[in-house]
Chains A and B, each alone.
Chain A
């Protein structure tokens, strides 16, 4: 079944975020359904306070979560996203802030794929920079890797130093 293509909010970064949002939507859906069963025929005026991510999803996609069709569309979209979205593992030397991750996520969604999800890891040994792992490849843009690549430069420096100042 084809679902309406929605815009994924930047607050939803990882696959876990997407699953949490989907579970929230399903819970909301259940809540609305149960409320309608309790008060048969009555229209629901208010909803429980949604999370920021759900709020963003609704706003960015002009969804009315009181409408069953919109909720179903969002749930379907998130289910498909959890199932098929491209996932990239990205690691930094320290814990990134949400603002930082928002900028990184925006770049990926603008430049690579709007449905992309990022799994963020922590790797203090890289000192600076980042490492990136897709399904098939591993990219190391860390300072550690830079040092390794420039090792010959360091060795040449040591040799020159030994040549000029022998022990």
Chain B
């Protein structure tokens, strides 16, 4: 709105200047164009006018007009300067307000975006933590069961080996101490106990 006022003032100043120049030119031109008696009177009047409005007078008028014009221009320029300053200050104020508003809006949006992103990150971290916790528990259970199974397997192997070692030791220790003659009764009793099976083996094998 202030710019428009400035433009109107400038246009009005330029129009006033043009009108002044045009009046001066018209007056000069009119003084030379009439040649009728009336014209002659006019010429005579002009001549007189020339005598009155001679170059010095004209120059004086021009100077006065110029000074007046300069004065008007100066006044208008002052007004224009004042308006311009006012407009500039208003423009600055307006720009400040607009920029402030825009920045505030943008910052608000930015903050909202950051808050959303933060919330999403927090949710994601929470989910990840839950998943990790579940996997940790699952792996813990699996590890426990595997450790237990391994422990049982090792105990089983240890017992097996222990039994083999003891057997081997006992066999090695007493093997040479047992006389075959002392075993005769045991051997005959075992044979007697398994007589049927041996006999069947012989019959069916033959």
Beyond contacts A93-B178, A128-B174: 13 other A-B pairs, Cβ-Cβ < 8 A, are A92-B180, A100-B181, A111-B195, A116-B202, A127-B175, A127-B178, A128-B178, A130-B190, A135-B205, A135-B206, A139-B198, A144-B171, A155-B162
Q: Are B188 and A107 in contact (CB under 8 A)?
A: yes
Interface-side segment among A19-27, A33-41, A67-75, A146-154:
A146-154
Partner of B159, one of A92, A96, A104, A158: A158
Enumerate chain A residues within 8 angstroms of B175, measured Cβ to Cβ: 93, 124, 127-128, 143
B128 CB to closest chain A CB (Å) equals 44
Enumerate chain A residues within 8 angstroms of B194, measured Cβ to Cβ: 139, 141
Also in contact, A100 and B206, with CB within 8 A (given A111-B195, A112-B195, A128-B178): no
Query: Nearest residue in A to B206 (C-beta to C-beta)?
Result: A86
Q: Are B204 and A139 in contact (CB under 8 A)?
A: no
Chain A interface extent, by class: 35 or more
25 contacts between A and B (CB under 8 A): A86-B206, A88-B198, A93-B180, A103-B188, A104-B187, A107-B191, A111-B199, A124-B175, A126-B171, A127-B172, A127-B175, A128-B183, A129-B186, A135-B201, A136-B201, A136-B204, A139-B198, A141-B187, A141-B194, A143-B175, A147-B167, A151-B163, A151-B167, A154-B166, A155-B159
Q: Are A147 and B170 in contact (CB under 8 A)?
A: yes
A-B contact count (CB 8 A): 98
Is the CB of B1 closer than 8 A to any CB of chain A?
Answer: no
Partner of B181, one of A97, A124, A141: A97
Chain B interface extent, by class: 20 to 34
Also in contact, A113 and B202, with CB within 8 A (given A129-B183, A154-B166, A158-B162): yes
Enumerate chain A residues within 8 angstroms of B191, measured Cβ to Cβ: 104, 107-108, 111
Q: How far does the alpha carbon of A96 sit from the alpha carbon of B181 in the complex, in Å?
A: 8
Residues of A within 8 A of B (CB): 84, 86, 88, 92-94, 96-97, 100, 103-104, 107-108, 111-113, 116, 124-130, 132, 134-137, 139, 141, 143-144, 147-148, 151, 154-155, 158-159
Q: How far does the alpha carbon of A148 sit from the alpha carbon of B160 in the complex, in Å?
A: 11
Enumerate chain B residues within 8 angstroms of A136, measured Cβ to Cβ: 201, 204-205
Q: Are B190 and A129 in contact (CB under 8 A)?
A: yes
A137 CB to closest chain B CB (Å) equals 5
Enumerate chain B residues within 8 angstroms of A134, measured Cβ to Cβ: 198, 201-202, 205
Enumerate chain A residues within 8 angstroms of B205, measured Cβ to Cβ: 86, 134-136
Q: Are B181 and A137 in contact (CB under 8 A)?
A: no
Q: Are A130 and B187 in contact (CB under 8 A)?
A: yes
B32 CB to closest chain A CB (Å) equals 142
Q: Are B171 and A100 in contact (CB under 8 A)?
A: no
Q: Are A129 and B167 in contact (CB under 8 A)?
A: no
